[in-house]
Structure 1
Amino acid sequence: MIVNGLRASTREQMKIARVKSGISRAVADNRIPMADRASRRPLEIFAAIFVAAGFIYSFHLGSDALGASEAYSAWAAAKPGVGAIVRTPVLHDPGKQVFYYVVLHYYARIFGLSEISLRSMSVVFSLTTLALLFALGCEIFDDSTALAASALWAFNPLAVVFAQTARMYPLFISISLAQLLMLWRVRARPGVANGIACGILGAALPYTHMAGLLILGAEGAILLRDLARGRRETMAWMAIVVAIILFVPYLPIALQQSQDLIYGHSLDYMGPPRHYSLAAKAAAGLAAAGITLWLLLGRSLESSEGEPIRFFVLWIGLPPLAFLVGSVILHPMFNLRYLSPGLAAASLLIAASIGAWSIKWRNLLAASFALACLIMLPFDRPKPQPWRDLVEQVAGGSRSEPIFFESGYVSNGNTANVPNGGFPFGYYSVPFDYYFRGDNPRIAIPGFDSASARMTIEERVSSAGGGWLVSWKDGDAVTAELPDPKRFIVVEKFRGDHLAFYRITPAVK
């Protein structure tokens, strides 16, 4: 009986052990899928944001006519080869670098030069930017920070405008973030492959936009900060050297463009130099130098060895600081578009900074901001360009009637009469000819010489019996070049921002 009792007790203990083991396995089996789901959740939410962004970016791509700058993109992309593309910004559109035009050229060979085709490449690179932003956040911070940053940028009105415009900025942002990611990896895990990739991407920056040189300068400052803290980032320095070497062949063209760019921006919408005192200029320079030195040499406030917050502050902050100082010392040069890579990266810096204070509030603010942007999008559409309507009006008239375009940089009222060689065929002739295929003569008149322009208009309109003027001048400036009202009838058909359209006919005697 004792033996039987021991056997029964042993069987009972084994049964209990099996039950406990089963419960443990069940708990473990349940925990693992829950952990997997939790780890996949940021990626799943990002995928939803990515799809929604792709839909929004692609909406109404072909509904609005191209703007003037977009038409120049189409014009450059339609050139027969890379050599002709390189000459385009040098001769006609200073400040615009060639890499975007070359990429668009080959893209357009596949998809064409329609509005949808031209703008769709911007959609592709805008979505690439979103993916790079998420990858950058995961690499430097964590999945949740990356997700919050993606939500902050994806539906931002600036991001949507960039995605729906056939200009270089989406490509510029994508290359910048990709190069920033590679620079972080080279600093964290030095390697030849990462260094070469970082150098090639770094060279692509100034080939895409002149502001890329300031980004490379900011990255040099980051490496100087590392050097001051005893970190010898040999491979990262080699990446910067590779970028400079690859850009050297284009340097003579870039210098020529820089001269035209400075002269052109002294005349166009950015305006002539402001007359700050020497003391004000010195104060601006010293303040910028002080901020830069503090960022380079100030004591570390972060526990992380890579100092990710300071890393982003240097990369994002130094280019606009340089533009601001240049605007005080030289002439106005600050434009939000030039800082587009920093604006995208700033969403990651904001998400990380708020997350360090409160993860709950960061997630709530990111979701609220994204929702607010989505609500505002239908009310924030830019005003469409009028080129289709203007072309339709000209097409309804005689083919012998000339169309006049003002040559020179698109100047403000104070500099409209300064002689210059900008856009010798007329700035607005490119967007007009994108839509107009008629045989009407196109005549460039000097935008900086109102008397000569007026004489040409009167002569050609008298012989043809009518004509059209496409002007970038405001009402007061354009009056000086309009024909004599006693002998001609001038009707303003359209008036917009830096764009006016006139119908000119001889007065009936």
Structure 2
Amino acid sequence: MTEAGSATIESLSGDRPSRRPLEIFAALFVAAGLVYLFHLGANALGASEAYSAWAAAKPGVGAIVRTPVLHDPGKQVFYYVVLHYYTQIFGLSEISLRSMSAIFSLMTLALVFALGCEMFDESTALAAAAMWAFNPLAVVFAHTARMYPMLIAIALAHLLMLLRVRSRPSIMGGIGCGILGAAMPYTHMAGLLILGAEGAILLRDLSRGKRDTIAWMAIVLAIALFLPYLPVAIRQSQDLIYGHWLDYLGPPYNYPLAGKLAAGLVAAGATSWLVFGRTVERDGDEPLRVLVAWIGLPALAFIVGSVILHPMFNPRYLSPGIAASSLLIAAAIGAWSAKWRNLLAAGFVVACLIMLPFARSKPQPWRDLAGQVAGGGASEPVFFESGFISNANTANVPNGGFPFGYYSVPFDYYFKGTNPRIVIPGFDAAAARMTIGERVSAASGGWLVSWKDRDGVKSELPDANRFRVVETYRQPHLAIYRITAIK
């Protein structure tokens, strides 16, 4: 063989993409699927999951749209609509409800790999996918019938499409990107912050002389498609401003004005550097800066909003960025040492697999409660507190949240008996105490399902001289009491 022929063969062999990363990813994908699908129906649905089932069981899209508007502010409709049609085929069992989340979680894993290939290379993509596949948070999302796995998958798919139309513009790609962009806020309002971060990324391109016409068109299309829902979103936001300060997010922090101004200036400075700062990467597309902006700007908005307005930060809202962080970590370590990146990715997988048995969520009590209520007699009432789930400082503030009682939905998913369901005002302890005493006296027994702590619920419980009260279950924001009349 001539020297030139040998060089040609070596060149062709070097240019041919390696199948090994793809084969390893396929094995990783199958293993992750087994983990995501394992014991989907083992635990009872949580309260939020029961709301997903409740919304999905509505007769049509119109009723589904009204559900978060009237009864569960802050929840967007797209997940409920998709789940509605999914459960029409597969039913409303725990396995069916959660299996859709497992499917979206597997889609997320494939998208992490695809994004890694688009932004970096196959080895980086494989390391990132490995770090996300068995992350306890990814497994929890896969096992939970909520919108977050869908939000992560849609957000990553949108980012992938945006990067492609940014580098290889096409009208159809821009339209698809815009539709995916609109799907994000229709799934969760945090999607609006992701669109804002993507706008900042495109603004940086514009400042460097790159127009990104199709990419801008996609962002504008996403916003235009969301505009018809904007009045509903504004109304929900008003409920959230009122409801969430009663909810788990807590009352506003009393930071001094100087502290709030400092937080705003730090956020403005960080954003300005990401958009207008000098280039530090050799790659002209700046993939690391893109990831930092896409992950960091929504998180920064939540943090600064929590300081200036009231607490609004919850890690679940940043779930797309958390999944994308595996790409950022793999790429950053790989830029330093590919060997250490691969070793750390493998070690992280082993650590996650060790942690998984200990990372399961606590079993929910609704199956057991349904059995206990059924055994107590059909005349015994079950009491639920109306109002937003409150902390101790705001539990007595009148409000119109969850007029049917927040925990009646998970209870009714499991209990089909005829026992009276009685709503008591969570913000009026005296009225609740009187109602409980009267109805339990008439039936000789009853149950109270409360979101209050022990001190908060004490004023609702009837006279200890006339009634025996036993706390049968307690976890944060949930307690169950068995109440019987003393004869």
Matched residue, 1:377: 356
Q: Return the offset for 1:247.
A: 0.4
Match of 1:224 among 181, 196, 203: 203
- Greater CA drift, 259-268 or 175-184: 259-268
Mapped pair 1:456 → 2:412: no
Q: Which digits, 9 at most, give the CA deviation of each residue in 1:197-225, with x for residues without a partner? A: 11000000000000000000101111111
Matched residue, 1:424: 403
Matched residue, 1:144: 123
Matched residue, 1:16: none
> Quick one: distance in 2 between partners of 1:34 and 1:299?
34
| Matched residue type, 1:72 | Y
Matched residue, 2:83: 104
Q: Return the offset for 1:478.
A: 0.2
- Matches of residues 313-324 of structure 1 in structure 2 within 5 Å? 313-324=292-303
Matched residue, 2:22: 43
Matched residue, 1:506: 485
- Matches of residues 85-484 of structure 1 in structure 2 within 5 Å? 85-484=64-463
> Quick one: distance in 1 between partners of 2:269 and 2:10?
57
Q: Return the offset for 1:350.
A: 0.7
Q: Of the two, which has the highest radius of gyration? A: 1
Q: Which runs of 5+ in 2 are unaligned?
A: none
Q: Secondary structure at the match of 1:85?
A: helix
Matched residue, 1:9: none
| Matched residue type, 2:153 | S
Q: Which digits, 9 at most, give the CA deviation of each residue in 1:444-471, with x for residues without a partner? A: 1000110010011111111122111011
> Quick one: distance in 1 between partners of 2:444 and 2:7?
90
Q: Which digits, 9 at most, give the CA deviation of each residue in 1:399-421, with x for residues without a partner? A: 01110000111111111111111
TM-score by length of 2: 0.97
Deviating 4+ runs (over 4 angstroms): 23-36
> Quick one: distance in 2 between partners of 1:299 and 1:384?
51
Q: Return the offset for 1:344.
A: 0.6
Q: Which digits, 9 at most, give the CA deviation of each residue in 1:45-89, with x for residues without a partner? A: 000110000000011100100000000000000000000000000
- Greater CA drift, 94-103 or 305-314: 305-314
> Quick one: distance in 2 between partners of 1:30 and 1:48?
29
> Quick one: distance in 2 between partners of 1:250 and 1:475?
40
> Quick one: distance in 2 between partners of 1:24 and 1:384?
68
Q: Return the offset for 1:379.
A: 1.8
Q: Secondary structure at the match of 2:376?
A: coil
Matched residue, 1:66: 45
> Quick one: distance in 2 between partners of 1:142 and 1:370?
20
Q: Secondary structure at the match of 1:39?
A: coil
> Quick one: distance in 1 between partners of 2:34 and 2:452?
38
> Quick one: distance in 1 between partners of 2:15 and 2:366?
56
Q: Secondary structure at the match of 1:55?
A: helix
> Quick one: distance in 2 between partners of 1:376 and 1:500?
28
Change (3 A) 1:424 1:298: same
Q: Secondary structure at the match of 1:276?
A: coil
**Two-structure CA RMSD over aligned residues (Å):** 1.7
Matched residue, 1:55: 34
Q: Secondary structure at the match of 1:153?
A: helix
Q: Secondary structure at the match of 1:463?
A: helix
Matched residue, 1:4: none
Mapped pair 1:496 → 2:466: no
> Quick one: distance in 1 between partners of 2:286 and 2:173?
20
Q: Secondary structure at the match of 2:211?
A: coil
Q: Secondary structure at the match of 2:260?
A: helix
Q: Return the offset for 1:378.
A: 1.2
> Quick one: distance in 1 between partners of 2:10 and 2:220?
53
Q: Return the offset for 1:26.
A: 11
